[in-house]
Structures are given as C-alpha cells and as structure tokens.
Amino acid sequence: MVDQFVTLIKKNFFLIGVTAFPGLHKLALLFVVNQVDSVDGTADFISDIFILYFLGYYTVFNWSNFILADMIKLPEQSHVSFFGKIAGLSLIYNVPVLIVLFILFRLEWLTDFFGFALFILTWSYHQLWRHFFIAKKLYNLLFFTDVVVLILSLISIIVGHEYGVNRYFIMSIPVLIVPILFKYLPPILARKKMSIRVFKKAMNYTLINMSTGGIQLIFAPLSHQLLTAELTRIIGFTTNFASVVLLIPRALSFQFIPQLSDRLRRNKKQCADLFLLFSQKINQSILAMLVVGILTGFFIWITWFELPFEMIILSFMVYINLLLGQLAAPSSNVLVVLSQSNYLLKVNVVSFIIVVLQIFLMLSAHLDPLVKMYIIIGFNVLVGVLRFLWLRSYVSRLI
C-alpha cells in the first residue's frame, strides 16, 4: 500500500500537488489568521470562510464539472469561449447567493457583507480558472500559480491586519490577479443562450456535492453560534487538517476511476473485482489516516493548545465524521461510471434532509450546547455509515 502510494506520487507529482493545494491553502490561511488575530477573530474567520466553502458547491464546483467533462470534448479553439460561457453562467448564479449573504449578515452569521461578497465572486472565478487549467492538463504551470496564490494570500492577511484593511477586500486581490498574470483573463460573458438543461444539470451537480461534502462544512458556523470561540477554532483546524489528509483517498480515486470505466466496457465481473479492490484500498487508507490523526492530534492538541478533554473529544468526532464520509467514495464513483448519478442524488439528498432536520431538532432542544454538538456530529456519522451501506448494497446488485 505504502509503496503503491509513493509510486503514485512520483508519477503524478504536479497533479497530486494541484489536488492537495486547496486543503493546504485552507490550513495555511487558518494558521496565519490564528497567529495575527484574537481567538474571537479567528473564530469569526472560520465561520465566514466555511460559509464560503459551502456556497462554493453552488457558485463554482457545479460549473467546474462542465469544464472538466464537456469543454475538453470541443475543438481546441473553442475552449476559451466555452470557459467564458460557463464563467458567465456562474456569475448569474451568484446573484441569489448575494441575497443569502445579506440575510446571513443580518442574522449575524456573517461578520462582513461587502468584503465577503467581493471575495466570493473573485474566489469563485479563480476556482473556475483553476479547473480550466486542470482540464487542459497544465498541472506544472498550475502548481506554481497555486504557490504564488498561497504566498500572496498569506501576505495579504498579514498586511490587512497590520494596516487595518478589510480582510476580504485584500484577500480578493491574489485570487483575481494571478489568472491575469499567468494566463490572459478569458471572457466571462456568454454570447449565446444555453439550454435550460444546462442549469438543471448544474443544479444536479450542486445537490450531489453539497449534500455530501457540504454537510461537513456547516459544523464550524453552527459551533460559532452555539459554542465558544475556542471550540469553533478547534473545529476549523480539525476540518482543514482532514481536508489535507483526505488527499490519499482522492489519489486512489484518480487511480481507480479510469480503470473502473475501462473494465465496465469489457467485463462486469472484472469491474466488480476492481470495485472490491477499490473499497479495500479506501478502507486501508481510512485506517491509516485514523492513526495519523490520533498521533497528530495528540501532539498538537495536547502539547500546543493544551486543550481540555471535551475539546479533544469534539475534535476527534469531527475528524472521524470526515474520515467515514470517504467510505462511500467507491460506490459513488461506480454509480457515476454506470450513469446512475440520479440514484446517487436521491440517496444523498435524503441523507442531507435527515441530517438538517436533526440539526433543527437539536437547536430547539433544551440541552447543553456542547451536548447538542456531540449529538449533531454523532448523528451525522451514523447517517454517513447508513448511506455507505445503502449505496454499497445497490452497487453490489448492479455489478
């Protein structure tokens, strides 16, 4: 397993680096904010930025699927124009998001409206631009642009804090100026109308991704409303650390998905065998990440932050929740390969609705806020395991 992973990294260093960058970026930003700001300020930042990541499933990651899957099928000379159309449609999708942001700001779930609104627009465009480079397989160039974005983003946080500049205004500069420096800024206006089916497909992608990855991002803003700033900070660090560690199952997906598609065309029995191998490797990686998380947590949470026991338990629960969410990765990917994404959507949405209803139930319950968070996260773990068993059973019947 270790030798296989090392070989995979050597053969795909820039691709793996580009894949790992979002998680490293999040973790590095949080470390710097934690150094320059107060605990309360760090908690505010975590709550804000996790709202950004959650909304990103609606403003950018749904549209990036068109860039990765559809743009590359077109002639080379049409790529920039196609990107422009997708970017323009993504901007249209940002209009209702601005309304949501204003409501969250009025409810005091968001600390800044105008700066954050600018940041989500520029950040969303930058993420689309990253996927444009990924689709073109320009991994080497994108790797270095990611490094530049990371360095400039860290500098912007420090400068903004030192001179009292709006944090989100100044953080918007690197994610917008880097596309200009490394590649001309493609047009962002669609020159012709697109079918309503495009919007429906984008919403389908949104619901699939938001109902799985998105649900993991609501714990930080929720804890910011229920718990102390210290607890919110711990949830933010744990989630961002996990997003880096989850590079391993992502790398395994890069390796197995093309093979699943190829085996399916040739022989379903071979596809079933490969699915079982994929599942085995994912389970092994989860076990390895669990050990890494425990050792890292013991070193950081106890020796550095000197956390009390209840904070360590909360951090561990968040980490376990994120790890176990990867159990369903093989089944989810097989369903996509088998063109069964509608079934996957139904399962994900049902799971999402159950979790959201349970959250509202806990918010109205007369319990200690920390106990509420324990129950909310623990219930999400249970739903995640049941979702995994549900999908695995369905896939087993198909192949």
Look at residue 70 in the predicted model and tell me its pLDDT.
77
Q: Which of 172-186, 213-227, 288-302, 378-392 has the lowest mean pLDDT?
A: 172-186
**Cα–Cα distances in angstroms (integers) from residue 2 to residues 5, 8, 246, 292, in the given order:** 5, 10, 15, 14
Encode burial over 187-211: b for 16+ CB neighbours within 10 A, e otherwise: ebebeeeeeeebeebbebbbbbbbb
pLDDT per residue as tens digits for the range 380-399: 999 989 999 999 998 888 77
Look at residue 114 in the predicted model and tell me its pLDDT.
92
Q: Which of 272-281, 301-310, 379-388 has the lowest mean pLDDT?
A: 301-310
Average pLDDT over residues 17-21: 78
pLDDT per residue as tens digits for the range 284-306: 888 888 888 888 777 776 666 66
Please report the sign of the dihedral spanned by the C-alpha atoms of residue 352, residue 358, residue 362, residue 365. positive
| Residue type for position 287 | L
Confidence of residue 375 (pLDDT cuts 50, 70, 90): very high
Residue 351 to residue 347: CA distance in whole angstroms: 6
Structure tokens that stand for 114 in this block: 């105008």
Please spell the DSSP secondary structure of 207-265, one letter per residue.
HHHHTTTGGGGSHHHHHHHHS-HHHHHHHHHHHHHHHHHTHHHHHHHHHHHHHHHHHHH
